[in-house]
Structure 1
Amino acid sequence: MTKRPEGLIFAVDERPPWLTLLLLGGQYAGLLAAYLVLIVIVFKAGGASHEDTISAVSLGMIAVAIATVLQALRKGPVGSGFLAAPVFSAIYLGPSVLAAKTVGLPAVFGMTILAGLLEIIIARSLRRLRIFFPPAISGFIVAIIGIQLGLVAIDHVLDIDQRQLPDYVNHVIVAGLTLALTVALSIWASGLARLMCSIIGLGVGFGLAVAFGLIPEAHWQVLLGAELFALPDPGFISYDFDAALLPAFLISGIAAALRTVGVITTCQKINDDDWRRPDIKSIKGGMFADGLGCMLAGALGTMGTNAAPSLVGVSKASGATSRSIGFTAAAILILFSLMPVISSFFLILPNAVIGAILMFTASFMISGGIQIMMSRNIDNRMTYVIGFSMLLGLSRDVFQNYFKSLPGFFHPFTSSMMPIAVLSALALHLTFRLGSRRKANVGFEKVEHSVDEFSHILQDKARAWNIDSGTASRAESTATQVLEHIRRASLANGPVAVELSFDDFNFIIGITYQGMLLSLPHVGVKHGVLLEEEAFSYGLADFLIGAYPDKMESFARGQDIRIQLQFNV
């Protein structure tokens, strides 16, 4: 049972009045539509015609609308049940621009489908893959994608190839003013103005571009000549796959999966004042929906999508997290998709405005990645992982000729800084994990002594091994309760040994003794079906003994007993 947070006006399962719902849905649709500008960047890189770009933007609205509905679903394996709509994500921008320039737009669509499929696979194996993506590696992936996005942004802001044109100074002025306004709103504004600073910056930047004459007459003709209502033309859609692009897109898929975990977890927190631990089922459903949405975006001839943290922030600030808002926004986007005049607006946005907004976004991705990396203490092993991998990744853009001269086998892994940096980080991380498990053994002559002394010993080891306080507290409570039950039932005939081990992911407590096995038939056991009174006894057994491990195993060989408690960190 969730507890309604204060300040929440419309909770996730509540439907606002129709007029309010229409206004909130319209606001949400506008926020979602702002990210359509990324499609324009990719299509410009691929040399697409104005007509194809307008159709792609319209089809992008349909893709986001369907993905928003999928995310808001609650029944079955698809959907988190929250208002956590996806947008066309900067995570996929670097690989998509690279694919559009080097291979063509069909490769963007095909590789985007594969990236979405990877997120679905990760959703099905979420716990098993934790070993590959500790906070330092996850944060590094986000930061390196932010750096690559930042380079694309600076390319748009400086627009070096156009520096000889008469209006180049105006281009730089508009970019600087747009960026300055967006940054100022994010620092000194409050409420929705602060949360929507990038959208406001985009609108004001467009106004400045008009005032400074940065929009060519031909672009105005595209906007004025666009039809009011028309079906988008999917004739430009075809698919291609290129092995050289695979690492970059798969890494983006991993980053998208990690961000979805964070977004859905945040949705859980803001909708439940009693939130304690992530609901894995909801997270998996959200990742499944996010991956399907990304695959759909590729199938409809656009780039990758991903859950948007900024929109969740807007929902929290407005006090409206109702899923009905997502359904309404999806319907409005479908209507917008039938209006080419709206899609053509994104086509005429100048590079100065687009680049400024991308710089703003990239800075948040870089700093966010650093914060994730620093959420756990960085030991010597991880120092080398991050330092070496960052240097190798940056060297790709500094020594381009060297990497281009490498044998063809290496090209899929050196196509850009992102695959070089991330693959290096993963390889070094797995190498340095050898010998990283820490262990401690404690022996007690009598189980009474173990109950009295164990808490102090565990707390010392948890601090020394940098185990978070929540996990340490849960482990202490569970293990002392188990030891207390062994003592009260006189199950141990002699000394009790406790082994502690930690490998950065799992904190394991092993209790061994000679005697009789402690019987806890329901603890840590997952029941698919609970019949009659089982629903009562199953829950009460865990509650009464206070045993809440993520996994529990017990073994008996004659009188040799071992109980193992595992806690995921």
Structure 2
Amino acid sequence: MRKPPDLTYGLNELPTPAVLLSAALQQTAIIVVFIYPAILLAQAVGASPSQSAAMLSLAFLACGASALIQSAGRFGIGAGYLAPATGSAAFLAPSLLAVQIGGLALAAGMTIAGGAAMMLFARTLHRARAFFPPEIAGAVVLIIGIAVTLAGVRALLITPDQQPPSAGALAVAGVTLAIAVGLSVWGGGALRGACVLVALLAGTAVASWLGLFRLDTAALAGLPLVGLPATGHLGWSFDLALLPVFLVAALANSLKTVGLVTTLQKLNDADWVRPEPRSIAGGVAGDGAATALAGLLCTAAPNVSATNVTIQAASGVTSRAIGYATAAFCLVLACFPRLAALLAQVPGPVIAAVLLHAGGLMLVNGMQLATSRMLDSRKSFVVGFALVTTLAVEAIPQVADWVSPELRPYMSATALGTVVAIGLNAILRIGIRRQMEIVLPARDMPHRELADFVARAGAAWGARRDVLTRVEEQIVWCVDSIAGFGLAEGDVAVRIGFDELRIDVTIAYRGPPLELSQVAPTADEMLTEAGAAKLAGHMILKRATRASVRSRDGGTELRLVFDH
């Protein structure tokens, strides 16, 4: 892993105390801003002020545990990256449905089941990788980016009284967004590392100065200043009828985590070429463990936060040490309920600006991930239609009212878009051949036809462009060498196979084999035709990951392997 030049502090580097503190406070501030699922869940069960405070404190505890688990990445649980969690939107709708049927105990029990399903899914990821390729993970990240961005637009432009937003609200959002973007682009050191935190504080100050922000002192006075979270509301029950709904939420959360951990891999490695499955599986397992813990604590489920990930790209600080500090701050918040409630009172225009900042960055990350592979018509349709579905649900939220109450949790933009992406990818994989063949004349080789054949195969499989370029160049080199030295008698058959991790090429022809040499020919040998043939064989060995040749009964097969 090579640290990218635009990172100030990489994954395994320890920032200065000032940067560590400011970055951890920034990550914690985002957790505070997006802790709303716990607040909504408490409202749904009609919790008393003390019980609501306890659920909020326990939600901070679950988010802190998630940050700790993900940063540590031990025993196959946790991604090993800075990947704090906030409240999960995917689990919110199923949890509210469970509350209507069986109260908080049922929501908690089913959340435990959802967390367990995520941990089980993590153990099967390596077997199902063909159904969750990078373009699908990128599509999920794009879906999240769309949902986050549109949430910011709605928070800013749609007021409770259905009136146009005030000039003051637009000014607050503009100042917050300008500071966040400005510090991430032109800031340095601790200022860049805390760009969103500084923007939050500045936006809140401007809102207060313009009279758009008033502290709810009555609500704060009713909460204890210091104290451990109450546990009198704990209880659990289960209902198999709700299991499918929570399994879909678990799958949506898992795929979101797959996309975000893949984004973190790219962000932290200048030489990134493909998703690393171990840390992805660990990230999903860590998310599942934190979700199960939230269920045990009878609070809202967490999920790796897209906003916290995008902040790392903006600030250039990705050190996992910040995850440990973030976990400590979450523990402090869990024991200071009045402080947690105070921090949660962030003005609406400030939250809208943070959502717009995070959503814009997430859209770019999703596009980069989705297009990191070649896309044919099948994969283009999968990505495109998943995005169209997301936009349709966001544009017409009344769609959820057209289905039965049991299906409404599936009708959120994130859940439905994810299900469409996965389902279409599985269906449209039917008919994709994992091996393709073309037969061409050795002499007067039609290079354009061969290049088109390789491009079609790569697009159908979703192969990486840079690897396909190497494959095409190597095949042309081999066929030209075989024809140039007069080895082939008649046509040459080129077969290409793919299994997500490598591309296998077999070039078959009638005639003697081409010698593969580990040693380059000497200057004297280069003056002979045998030396030129030796050079060709040497270059084939150097440019492919592995190469071998086999000759039998007058036929020859040259086999090449390229890691993908």
- Identify which of 31, 34, 41 aligns with 2:30: 34
Q: In the superposition, relative to structure 1, how do residues 349 and 368 fare at CA in structure 2: closer, same or farther (>3 Å)?
A: same
> Partner letter of residue 403 of structure 1?
V
**TM-score for the superposition, normalised by structure 2:** 0.71
8 Å contact 1:40–1:346 — kept in the other structure?
Answer: no
Show CA shifts across 1:340-389 (max 9, x none). Answer: 23212134345554455445544555565456555554626743744774
Aligned to 1:461: 453
8 Å contact 2:506–2:557 — kept in the other structure?
Answer: yes
Aligned to 2:71: 72
The answer to whether residue 311 in structure 2 is matched with residue 289 in structure 1 is no
CA shift, 1:55, in A, is: 2.5
Q: Counterpart of 1:233 in 2: which secondary structure?
A: coil
Aligned positions of 1:320-469 closer than 5 A = 321-351=318-348, 353-355=350-352, 357-358=354-355, 360-362=357-359, 364-365=361-362, 369=366, 372-373=369-370, 376-377=374-375, 379=377, 382-383=380-381, 385-386=385-386, 389=389, 393=393, 397-404=397-404, 411=407, 414-437=410-433, 439-442=436-439, 459-464=451-456, 465-466=458-459, 467-469=463-465
The sequence identity of aligned pairs, in percent, is 26
Q: Counterpart of 2:403 in 1: which secondary structure?
A: helix
CA shift, 1:178, in A, is: 3.4
**TM-score for the superposition, normalised by structure 1:** 0.70
Q: Counterpart of 1:439 in 2: which secondary structure?
A: strand
8 Å contact 2:544–2:562 — kept in the other structure?
Answer: no
8 Å contact 1:119–1:287 — kept in the other structure?
Answer: yes
- Identify which of 227, 230, 242 aligns with 2:227: 230
Q: Counterpart of 1:441 in 2: which secondary structure?
A: strand
| Distance (Å, rounded) in 2 between the aligned partners of 1:325 and 1:397 | 38
CA shift, 1:265, in A, is: 1.0
| Distance (Å, rounded) in 2 between the aligned partners of 1:109 and 1:96 | 11
| Distance (Å, rounded) in 1 between the aligned partners of 2:468 and 2:24 | 41
> Partner letter of residue 468 of structure 1?
R
Aligned to 1:178: 172
Aligned to 1:203: 201
Aligned to 2:52: 53
- Identify which of 300, 303, 308 aligns with 1:303: 300
Q: Counterpart of 1:227 in 2: which secondary structure?
A: coil
CA shift, 1:220, in A, is: 0.8
| Distance (Å, rounded) in 1 between the aligned partners of 2:154 and 2:8 | 43
> Partner letter of residue 184 of structure 1?
A
| Distance (Å, rounded) in 1 between the aligned partners of 2:446 and 2:258 | 36
8 Å contact 1:389–1:425 — kept in the other structure?
Answer: no
> Partner letter of residue 126 of structure 1?
L
Show CA shifts across 1:408-433 (max 9, x none). Answer: 7x726754444444434433333333
Q: In the superposition, relative to structure 1, how do residues 92 and 36 fare at CA in structure 2: closer, same or farther (>3 Å)?
A: farther
Q: Counterpart of 1:442 in 2: which secondary structure?
A: strand
CA RMSD of aligned residues (A): 5.1
| Distance (Å, rounded) in 2 between the aligned partners of 1:454 and 1:75 | 53
- Identify which of 505, 509, 513 aligns with 1:509: 505
8 Å contact 1:86–1:290 — kept in the other structure?
Answer: no
The answer to whether residue 267 in structure 2 is matched with residue 263 in structure 1 is no
Q: In the superposition, relative to structure 1, how do residues 418 and 78 fare at CA in structure 2: closer, same or farther (>3 Å)?
A: closer
> Partner letter of residue 63 of structure 2?
V
CA shift, 1:339, in A, is: 2.0
CA shift, 1:441, in A, is: 1.6
Aligned to 1:526: none
| Distance (Å, rounded) in 2 between the aligned partners of 1:517 and 1:300 | 68
Q: In the superposition, relative to structure 1, how do residues 25 and 212 fare at CA in structure 2: closer, same or farther (>3 Å)?
A: closer
CA shift, 1:249, in A, is: 1.0
Aligned to 1:471: 467
| Distance (Å, rounded) in 1 between the aligned partners of 2:365 and 2:271 | 26
> Partner letter of residue 125 of structure 2?
L
Q: Counterpart of 1:234 in 2: which secondary structure?
A: coil
CA shift, 1:63, in A, is: 2.5
8 Å contact 2:204–2:350 — kept in the other structure?
Answer: yes
Q: Counterpart of 1:36 in 2: which secondary structure?
A: helix
CA shift, 1:499, in A, is: 1.1
Q: In the superposition, relative to structure 1, how do residues 377 and 508 fare at CA in structure 2: closer, same or farther (>3 Å)?
A: same
| Distance (Å, rounded) in 1 between the aligned partners of 2:273 and 2:322 | 26
